Amino acid sequence: MTTENNLSENEENKNPNEVSQEETSQADTSHQEIAHDDEAEHPEEDHADDISLADALKEMESIINMANAGENFKRFNQLKEKANHYIHDEVEDKKHEYVEGGNPPENFSYEHPLQSKFSALINIFREKHDSYQKSQDEEQKKNLDHRQNIIERLKNLYTNSEPGTNLFKSIREIKEEWSKAGQVAKSEFKILNNNYFHHLNQFYQMLDLNKEFLEQEFSHNLEKRQHIIARAKELESEPVIQKALNELQYLHKLWKEEAEPVAEEFREKTWEEFKEISNKIHERKSELSAAIEGEQNDNLEKKNQIIAEIKKLAEPSETPNHGYWQNSIKRVEDLRTEFLKTGSVPRKLSNQNWNDFKTTLRAFNTTKNNYYKSLKGSQQANLEEKLKLIQTAQDNMNSEEWDIAVPLFKKLQEDWKKIGHVPKSMTNKIWDEFRDACNTFFNNYREKNNASNDNWKENYKQKKEILEDLKTVSNDEGSIERIEAIKTAWNNIGKVPRDKIAINTEFNRTLREKLKLNKINELELKEEGLTENQLTDKARKIKSQISDLEAEIVKLENNLAFFKNPSRENPLLRDTFNTIDEKRAHLETLKQNLHNIIAGD
């Protein structure tokens, strides 16, 4: 049976030493009750520490910015251990990847990006804690002096009290002041506390001469005990068990410091009642443990689901591409954050669950890295193909052979899209080069097309008139000269709109009909009255035309080679084949004319 820190009126003659021993026994027993309550706090503290590295550092920074930062030593150390654990694991992961890449482990060097911040927070807190500890020591020393003064006043109250002193009021003030006095060093507390209660009991023994005051004191303390018991009964139904345990600890403190002594007939009765209620509340710790266990099991299931999803992403059912891995990387990062934010799991499974998570992450990273390593060879081949397209685009970007160049550039753009990725370092460079060549061509095409559109319409109108004139030629005398004049006039007119280009074919067909009607060959057409210088100049111009025409034919034929199986049936290429035929026919005519000029025919 637990005893208490006061004496009944029938114990006034006991030896003071016996009283001190009993008081010491009481203090120790009450202290055990308080320590017993402390144990209930541990599950909640462990449960609250499942936070990410970023959140841990954020809370550490929040603590050191508090005015009473040093007072939160225990919480800061918990966060420090958690953050250190995360940083160590991430460094180990980097080392694992480094070694896995074929590098010697002794060459590994890596500093976590948050290490410097972590170290700075620790150093700042250490300074604040040292300052706090120093101020605490000073405060405790002041409190010690203050409590010793209170004890001295208590001693004087029953040894040297002046006549007329209101003992009831004085002892109330002393007890109130003692309860509000601050903490002292643990090494001083036990002796100090025993000394206080010794003199308090001596005071109560002195009160044997004043039964009325003693009854008032006992009644007052009994009322306090009853209030404490009533509140403890309410805590039996408190839904938040941790809150009930914390408040019960505070009630034990009040019981010890402010609700003693009471009359003998109530002493053991009230204590046993309070102790029984306390035991019932302590029995509810199993509810707290069960709730925590249930929540931890739920967390374990959530974390295992996260691990399973990461494992599934690391083992795709179909051949993955770049897009798949980019989406998977983002998803895994979200899953990793979710895993770290999920609360604690059962302690016996915690290490295994964490190791499974790290192993799965490493497997994902290994598979992903292997994919991108395999891409390097194909990316180099893709780069070479795109460089060829760039060269072709740059060679033709100033071409004005719109019939072949426009479909060519469209084909180049389509081929560019079909070619896969290239090394990241070259992506922007080659795209800028290809885009600039394409933009140069199409800008030139639009400008020339807009500028020459009106002239081409006028050319078409003139050629239409010349064609109609050619159609009226017969085989009468002077027809040959007329045909020569018509052909010269036709050649002096420039291009026509693209949708009217068929007039050239019609003219050539009509010309052949008229020459056949007059029974002459196109090469027999002559230009009369030319001087020697004019003939030389004409020969030089014809040579230049032949050279240009041959180059144009070669270029057109080379461009056709970019198309798979080019044929006249392809609508895009039909006009090109006709153009090549016309240029070849024109080339033969020029060569024959040059031959005739050189031969003097």
pLDDT digit string, tens, across residues 339-361: 888 888 888 888 888 888 888 88
* Stated pTM of the model: 0.39
Q: Does 400 lie in the same domain as 372?
A: no
CA distances from 251 to 140, 221, 361 (A): 24, 14, 50
Amino acid at 454: D
Do 240 and 337 sit in the same domain of this protein? Answer: no
pLDDT computed for residue 17 by the predictor: 34
Residue 489 lies in a domain: yes
Q: Is residue 47 part of a domain?
A: no
Residues 478, 592 share a domain:
no
Tokens describing residue 396? 């033709």
What is the extent of the structural domain holding 553?
Answer: 530-600
- 45 in a structural domain: no
- Same domain, residue pair 539 and 470: no
Do 129 and 223 fall into the same domain? yes
Do 130 and 273 share a domain, yes or no?
Answer: yes
Select from 243, 258, 281 the last residue of a domain: 281
Residue 370 lies in a domain: yes
Q: Minimal CA–CA distance to 344: which of 556, 560, 42, 570?
A: 42
Residue 8's pLDDT band (boundaries 50, 70, 90)?
very low
What does the alpha-carbon distance between residue 299 and residue 320 come to, in Å, rounded to a whole number?
A: 31
pLDDT-derived band at 533, boundaries 50, 70, 90 = low
CB 236 within 8 A of CB 243: no
Q: Among all chains, which residue has been given the structure tokens 């374990």?
A: 300
Between 130 and 377, the more confident residue is 130
Q: What is the pLDDT, as a whole number, of residue 2?
A: 33
pLDDT band at 19 (very low <50, low <70, confident <90, very high): very low
Number of residues in the chain: 601
- Given this model, what pLDDT does residue 142 score? 92
More confident position, 7 or 525: 525
pLDDT digit string, tens, across residues 279-289: 888 887 777 77
pLDDT in tens, 442-453: 888 777 766 656
Q: Are residues 444 and 474 in the same domain?
A: yes
pLDDT per position as a tens digit, 232-255: 888 888 888 788 888 888 888 888
**Which one of 214, 246, 281 terminates a domain?**
281
Residues 468-502 pLDDT 10s: 888 888 877 777 777 778 877 877 777 777 788 88
Q: Are 337 and 388 members of one domain?
A: no
> Do the domain assignments include residue 63?
no
pLDDT tens profile 33-78: 333 334 333 444 444 457 888 888 999 999 989 888 888 889 999 9
Q: DSSP string covering 394-437, please?
A: HHHTT---HHHHHHHHHHHHHHHHHS----HHHHHHHHHHHHHH
Co-location of 460 and 482 in the same domain? yes
Phi, psi of 101 (to 5 degrees): -80, 5
- Of 352, 377, 402, the position where a domain reaches its end is 377
Do 264 and 331 reside in the same domain of the chain? no
R_g over Cα of the chain: 52
- Shared-domain flag, residues 441 and 514: yes
The DSSP code for 566 is -
Number of domains in the chain: 4
330 located within any domain: yes
* Under 8 Å between Cβ of 489 and 466: yes
Q: What is the pLDDT of residue 46?
A: 47
Do 412 and 434 belong together in one domain?
Answer: yes
Token pair 């990273």 is found at: 365
Q: Which residue has the higher pLDDT, 287 or 466?
A: 466
In a domain, 46, yes or no: no
Specify if 176 maps to a domain: yes
